[in-house]
Amino acid sequence: MSFSPQQPSPAPSDLSGAGAEDLALYREKFRRRLPQSLEELRGPAQGVVELPLHVAWSGMTSYDLGKPRQRMGLYRAVLHEGLRDDLPRLLNRDLLVQMWPVLRTLVGRTVRSVWEEAFPQLAARSRAAA
């Protein structure tokens, strides 16, 4: 099914059958990767982080946490591509919470909703920052 620029793609609630099942599987992929709590995220808060190739398969592999754009890029890549064991090792709870109001606009809708549903403090932080 193709969509012209004038016709938006269907919203998730408009999906039926296989489309809804695909969305549910996609959400579950991210849900399975979540830590039990944000306290598990004990990754570095400074310095240079080298991402494994399964996370940084399409771009940079080295990120300087002292540079805001690189820090944001690293977190976006890890949230999308990181595996369950990668998240506690590569993400830092304090940095994630601090960056979330902007970071949530850079990640996909599914990643954003899965994280905010699992960790309401992220959604609350976004509302407070607005």
Q: Characterize 114-130 residue by residue with b for buried, 16 or more Cβ atoms within 10 angstroms of its Cβ, and e for exposed.
A: bbbeebeebbebbeeee
Residue from 32, 37, 1, 16 nearest 110 by CA: 32
* pLDDT(3) > 50: no
How does pLDDT run across 5-28, given as a tens digit for each residue? 444 344 445 555 667 777 788 889
The residue ranges of DSSP E strands in 51-95, in sequence order, are: 62-64
Q: Which residue has the higher pLDDT, 73 or 17?
A: 73
Task: Count Cβ atoms below 10 Å from residue 51 Cβ, excluding itself.
Answer: 21
Q: Average pLDDT of 19-42? A: 90
- Residue 62, beta-bridge partner list: 50
Q: Find out whether 24 and 114 touch, Cβ atoms under 8 Å.
A: no
Q: What is the mean pLDDT of residues 56-66?
A: 89
Strand partners, 64: 48
Q: What pLDDT was estimated at residue 15?
A: 53
User: Collapsing DSSP states into helix, strand and coil, what is residue 42?
Assistant: strand
